[in-house]
Amino acid sequence: MSRLVRAAGSALLVVALLALIVPLGIHWSGATLFAAPEPSVSTPPWQLPPSTPAAQSGGLRSRAPQPSPSALSSLLGKTLVPDGAGSFAAHVVDAETGTVLYTNKAEEARTPASNMKLLTAAAALQALGPDSRFTTETLRTGPASVSIRGGGDVLLTAGESQPDKVMGHAGLATLAGRTVDALRAAGVKGKVTVAGDAGLFSGPALNPAVDPGDVEAGETAPVAPLALHSARLDPDVLTGPRPQDQTATVVKAFVAALNKEGASGKAGASGGALTFVAGGSAGTGTVLAGVESATVAEQVSWMLQHSDNFLTDVLGRMVAVKSGRPGSYTGGIAAVRSELDQLGLDTRGMVIADLSGLSAANRVSPAQFTALIRLMTTGSNAALRAALDGFPVAGLSGTLNARYGDASSKGGAGLVRAKTGTLNTVLSLSGYVVDADGRLLVFSFIGNGLTPGAAGNKAALDDSATVLAGCGCR
């Protein structure tokens, strides 16, 4: 996330609440997946938590009235107002019919900050498939040498694999155990050198469109097809410096895990202890062992929830590799645009300078975002539906965890689901909500040229989305 303030909430509380509200499907007949955290007598039934998971079905509840554009315009005219300099562009659309309910500079291509991640999310789900996984594997490249080959999983951890986790679904300790077993079975003894193989990606590890200051601040890091903790020194610390050589960082942790396994001296085909040192070079060889990542759908959800710039760039490069392009930042940009074109999104006027949204040179209009979110919520492409789980929930999860607590926006808590975006003079919020009448609305608000740090700008976004959630606007 670009200079976005992250507030740490209670993990257990969030998990418990998300169990009620995170969508498993789309359901429009009487009760929807959009649930308020604390139901009250005045809460419409379709905004209450469903007693059972909603089934997927097509079409909106046909009797739900559509908001009046004039009434909605009057309300948003009072809330979507910049605090100081700059302006907001906005687009609000009825998801079922595509009817435009509110528009203000909606066709104007603007710097969207981290809303760019929605484009990468759609491309990754479309090209790679929601259920796909990336494999990190070891190869025996010589009589006493192995390499660890990156397959795109940058959510590795040093410990054992944790099948119920996204970060750490694949663990280096598990891979080390399997690798040592395979080496012993092959009769290998003594010292073994370990190299890292990041050859899946090519070209510069950093996109030159990203400000070096953002790299120094830890907003992102040089990209590789394998990394620990999405290139963080600590998985629980989401700010500050990052490792600058992901492959070396992984090799160091992997050698430590291998030596712990190798020193055990447990009986094998050859018996005895094995020792491992970093060194040598990657090459071709026989696969010894592997560990698999969380699914692409789970990684996309992680990316959107945490606004993870590094993971976004990696997923973009994986889309490039899948399409037969070089696994470079230019290949990723070209591949993402191609996938958007194949989805039927109008990309005219769109500028993709980087995939995560760190670059101020990106340009996307609010109308393009609402068109994409309509595809995710009501389109026929089932792969895109997986993105919905990743939209942060107002007041409860991800980058919206600490928002929607004010009197003017608390009505949107638990109901608004949207991707945030923040740069120095940019704020954005694009997502979806079921209004008080049971109508699904998609929206995109993008502020450019804003006064840096002005508190009223974020409030303007949240209050406007809350207007949509409470709308019985007729």
CATH number, domain with residue 97: 3.40.710.10
- What band does 356 get if pLDDT is binned at 50, 70 and 90? very high
Residues 180 and 68 in one domain: no
| pLDDT value, residue 262 | 87
Looking at the fold, whether 124 and 55 belong to one and the same domain comes out as yes
Instruction: State the Cα–Cα distance between residues 344 and 79, nearest whole angstrom.
Output: 33
CA distance 334 to 119: 12
Residue 445 lies in a domain: yes
Residue 59 Rama label (left phi>0; alpha psi -120 to 50; beta)? left
Closest CA to 2 of 262, 310, 292: 310
- Token pair belonging to 434: 């079921």
Instruction: Inform me whether the pLDDT recorded for 1 exceeds 70.
Output: no
Query: Is the model's pLDDT at 108 over the cut of 90?
Result: yes
pLDDT band at 441; cut points 50, 70, 90: very high
**Position of tokens 């192995």?**
146
Provide the pLDDT confidence category of residue 40 given band limits of 50, 70 and 90.
very low
Does the residue 301 lie in any domain? no
Same domain, 382 and 280: no
Answer whether residue 216 is part of any domain.
yes
Please say if the pLDDT value at position 267 is more than 50. Answer: no
pLDDT of residue 186: 94
Instruction: Identify the three-state secondary structure at position 290.
Output: strand
pLDDT tens readout for residues 228-259: 999 999 988 888 899 999 999 999 999 999 99
Q: Is the pLDDT score of 32 beyond 60? A: no
Q: What is the mean pLDDT of residues 96-101?
A: 95
What is the predicted pLDDT for the residue at 42? 54
For residue 109, what pLDDT is reported? Answer: 98
Let me know whether 55 and 177 are in one domain: no
The reply to whether 37 and 94 lie within a common domain is yes
Q: What is the dihedral of CA 80, 73, 90, 42, to 10 degrees?
A: 70
Give the pLDDT band of residue 474 (cuts 50, 70, 90): confident
Are 445 and 423 members of one domain?
yes
Range with the poorest average pLDDT among 127-136, 230-239, 363-372: 230-239
**What pLDDT digit, counting tens, does each position of 298-323 carry?**
999 999 999 999 999 999 999 999 99
pLDDT exceeds cutoff 50 at 455: yes
Please report whether residue 159 resides in a domain. yes
pLDDT tens digits for range 46-84: 444 333 222 233 334 557 899 999 999 999 999 999 999
**Cβ burial, residue 379 (10 Å; 0-12/13-18/19+):** middle
Query: With 90 as the cut, is the pLDDT of residue 10 above it?
Result: no
Task: Answer yes or no: do 146 and 289 share one domain.
Answer: yes
Are both 116 and 145 inside the same structural domain? no
Q: How far is CA 296 from CA 108, 155, 212, in A?
A: 32, 12, 29
Q: Is residue 177 part of a domain?
A: yes
Q: Are residues 279 and 165 in the same domain?
A: yes
Q: Is residue 1 part of a domain?
A: no
Q: Tokens representing 281?
A: 């070079």
Tell whether 342 is covered by a domain.
Answer: no
Indicate the residue among 294, 312, 330 that finishes a domain: 294
The residue out of 294, 309, 332 marking a domain boundary is 294
Determine, yes or no, domain membership for 73.
yes
Identify whether residues 401 and 278 lie together within a single domain. no
Report the share of the chain in percent with pLDDT over 70.
Answer: 85
pLDDT at residue number 7: 37
Residue-wise pLDDT tens digits, 276-306: 999 989 989 999 999 999 999 999 999 999 9
Q: Based on the domain organization, do 227 and 261 belong to the same domain?
A: yes
Q: With cut-offs at 50, 70 and 90, classify the pLDDT of residue 37.
A: very low
Q: Characterize the bridge pairing of strands 417-423 and 87-94.
A: unpaired
pLDDT at position 19: 35
Share the mean pLDDT of the chain.
Answer: 88
The tally of domains found in the chain comes to 2
Average pLDDT of the residues in 190-216: 97
Confidence of residue 97 (pLDDT cuts 50, 70, 90): very high
Q: What is the pLDDT of residue 54?
A: 29
The answer to whether 154 and 246 are in contact (CB under 8 A) is yes
What domain range is 186 assigned to? 135-294
**Which tokens belong to 344?**
């039927």
Identify the weakest region by mean pLDDT among 11-20, 176-185, 341-350, 353-362: 11-20
Residues 356 and 411 in one domain: yes
**394: closest CA among 12, 25, 34?**
34
| Final residue in a domain of this structure, among 268, 294, 320 | 294
Mean pLDDT of 338-361: 98
pLDDT for res 9: 38
